[in-house]
Structures are given as structure tokens and as C-alpha cells.
Amino acid sequence: MELINTIINELVDTNKSITSPFLKAKVLASQIQNSELLKWVNDEIQGYEQENLPDYRVKYGYLQGDYINGNSHLKNQPILTGLGKDIEEEIKRIRFTQSLQELESMLSKESDTIIRNLLVPQLVKLVEQSIKRVPENRAFNLIHLEVITSITVVNNILSVVRNKLLDFMLKITEEFGQTVEIKDLKENKEKVNTIMNHTIINNSGDGVVVNTGNDANINASIQINKGSKDELIQKLKEANVPKSDVQELVEIIDNDEPNHETQTLGTGAKTWVQKMFAKALDGSWSVGTGVAGGVLVELIKKYYGW
């Protein structure tokens, strides 16, 4: 079918806007009367409601803020909340509900390399109160708090979306042939839905860090034997972590106090991960933020046997 071939050709050309093949996919979904495919395509084109957001559009950032503590007034500092794991993850979560066109527009702004998500006053107060529970922080006042991440996460989302639609179209041609007709797809709705479930719905990319360039070969399905420093060091080297930072982490985990019951990292490891994330953001560590923000934490967790 010419329409499917056109969609495939546009999807493989990463220099072209992703919106065009999705508009054509909308035509295809309407012609074959497939409501499931049409809904997904429409959500991507128009943007999502919060409650319907797929996992690949949810990313995690890094907390940064301005605060006064006694006579010290510091800006753009990493913030450790002291809150439980679930609450902290929720605070750091960034939901990208925007349309494909809006996401592409974000990438086109060359001056914007960092995404900043300002937190509401209620959350700022919650974090401030948590930090104040530590006796030496009783004079702590949190003035400003935001979640930041690299613009590369937007590129990641667009890459995932592009690959999902491409996988679907390729599988359709594989199953039905290059000359498939509209009526064939309409008559085989159940088979089309099965293909969609395998390529779009359930193929979320979980376990694989989707990056570009040197990060493309880093897999998040990490296997480290509990307590094996040699394996941890090797995995860190594979993630291009500088030798000095690897050594720093090794020294930290010898003295850190993680909470094994709640499976949360100790203060030293948390601070180290945040420092590495900041290095990824400012470019001093040449690696994708998916590695900096996620894989490093998983490496340490596997070392602890979690």
C-alpha cells in the first residue's frame, strides 16, 4: 500500500518532522476503522491528558534550588529532600503531555538545553519542613525549588514514538505484504490489534536506555553480584564514568549508610549521583541524562543486592 510505504519512508528520515507521518497514520487508522490505533495517534498529535500519559512520556529530573541557611545564601544548589523514596520520585517526575509539534518546537530552540519545572509552593514548603527536621538545618529557608533535566529527554520521547509507529508499519507489511489493501486490514482487525499491542502498547522500551551517540550501547538491564566492587567498577567504566568519580563512589559506599529496608541510597551516594547528573547537564561528563539519572542509581542498587 502506497500510504504505508510513504509513512515508513518519512519515519526513517529523522531530518523530517514526525508530525507528517503521524497525520498520514491518522488517515490510515480512519480508513481501516481501527479505533485503538486512531486514539493513540490522536493523543500523540494533539497531546495527552495527565491520566492517560504513557510511561515513555514520563521522565525524572534533578532537584535544584535557592536557599538561606543561617548566614549562607546559596543559589542553584542540589537539594536533598529527606523525604521517602515514593514522595521524592513523585516530586522529581516530569510529565510531557505536549503534542508532537510542541515537543519538536522545544528541540528547535537552540538556546534551551535545560528544561526547568518550577514546583508549586506547597511542595516547596513540604521539602523545606523535611530538611528542617535535621537539627543543624533549623534556620533553613527554601526560597526556590525546581526540577531540571536535559532537553535530550524530549529527543528521547520523539525517538521512542517514531520507533513505535515504524515498528507497527513494518510489522504490518511483514504480515500482510507490501501490496496490502484497506479491506484486508479491515477484515483482519484482531490481527492488526495484536500487532499494535506488541509494537506500540506493550513495547515501552523498559530496560533499555534510549540514547544517541556513545550512549546507545548502554543497557539498563544491569546484572551485578551483590557486594562485587569489581563488577560495579566495570559497569561504571562502561557508562563512561571518569576514573576519579568511580574511585569517589567506591570510597563512599564503604562508609555510606543506605536504608536496606526501604531500599534508599545513603546521603553520600545520593549526593554523588546528583553531582554526576549535574555533570551530564553541563556537558562536563559526556553521557546522556538517562544514564546519569537512572542507570547510576540502578548500578548502586544492584551492588547493594536490591
Claim to verify: residue 175 and residue 141 sit in the same structural domain: no
Q: What is the mean pLDDT of residues 133-156?
A: 92
Claim to verify: residue 194 and residue 221 sit in the same structural domain: no
Task: With CA atoms as reference, report the closest residue to 115 among 168, 153, 67, 85.
Answer: 153
Banded pLDDT at 128 (limits 50, 70, 90): very high
Q: How many CB atoms lie within 10 A of CB 118?
A: 12
In sequence order, the β-bridge partners of residue 266 are none
Claim to verify: residue 77 and residue 89 sit in the same structural domain: yes
Q: What is the number of domains present in the chain? A: 3
Claim to verify: residue 103 and residue 19 sit in the same structural domain: no
Phi, psi of 109 (to 5 degrees): -85, 95
Domain presence at residue 207: no
Domain presence at residue 295: yes
Claim to verify: residue 28 and residue 164 sit in the same structural domain: yes
Instruction: Identify the domain containing residue 269 by its residue range.
Output: 213-304
Q: Is the predicted pLDDT of residue 212 greater than 60, yes or no?
A: no
Q: What is the pLDDT of residues 53-71, one digit of tens each?
A: 899 999 999 999 999 988 8
Claim to verify: residue 76 and residue 221 sit in the same structural domain: no
- DSSP conformation class of 141: E
Claim to verify: residue 93 and residue 176 sit in the same structural domain: no
From edge to edge, which strands make up the β-sheet containing 72-78?
A: 72-78, 62-69, 140-150, 114-118
Q: What is the mean pLDDT of residues 160-178?
A: 92
Claim to verify: residue 45 and residue 64 sit in the same structural domain: no
Domain presence at residue 208: no
Domain presence at residue 292: yes
Claim to verify: residue 163 and residue 49 sit in the same structural domain: yes
Claim to verify: residue 226 and residue 288 sit in the same structural domain: yes
Domain presence at residue 19: yes
- DSSP conformation class of 64: E
Which is more confidently placed, 236 or 83?
Answer: 236
Write down the mean pLDDT value for the chain. Answer: 84
Claim to verify: residue 264 and residue 295 sit in the same structural domain: yes
